[in-house]
Amino acid sequence: MATKTNLTIDQGATFSSTITITDEDGDIVDLTGYTGASQLRKHYTSSNSTSFSVSITANTGEVNLSLSANQTSNLVAGRYVYDVEITNSSNVVSRVLEGIITVTPNVTR
């Protein structure tokens, strides 16, 4: 089951967030051989999406999500939904994180 976490992204700024994947005992999961994918959408059924760049540090169980300043500049201020999925070498997909993203408006241009 995915952890629910809400995030805030500043429109026009570079965004980065790192999560650590742990098992039910709180131990770090070795993510060797895993890949990751993550998107945000205005709502669950929206056909438009923005994909995060996802990088995994296998031995620390860390998954880093990032968006460039150009990507966040193209987001309309408001609320979005997102999730993060990881896929192991056997193509088993697990959703590890989901929630709401609030994009705050940019003043400086």
Residue 1 has pLDDT above 90, yes or no: no
Query: Whole-angstrom Cα distance, residue 14 to residue 76?
Result: 15
| Tokens standing for residue 99 | 């929630």
Q: For residue 103, give the amino acid letter.
A: V
pLDDT band (50, 70, 90) for residue 20: very high
3-104 to CATH, choices 2.60.40.10, 1.10.260.40, 2.60.120.860, 3.40.50.300:
2.60.40.10
Per-domain boundaries in the chain? 3-104
pLDDT band at 42 (very low <50, low <70, confident <90, very high): very high
d(CA 109, CA 79): 21
Would you state the structure tokens that stand for residue 2, as one six-digit string?
């995915």
pLDDT band of 40, cuts 50, 70, 90? very high
Q: In whole angstroms, give the CA distance from residue 67 to residue 16.
A: 7
pTM of the shown model: 0.92
> Which band of pLDDT confidence, cut at 50, 70 and 90, is reported for residue 78?
very high
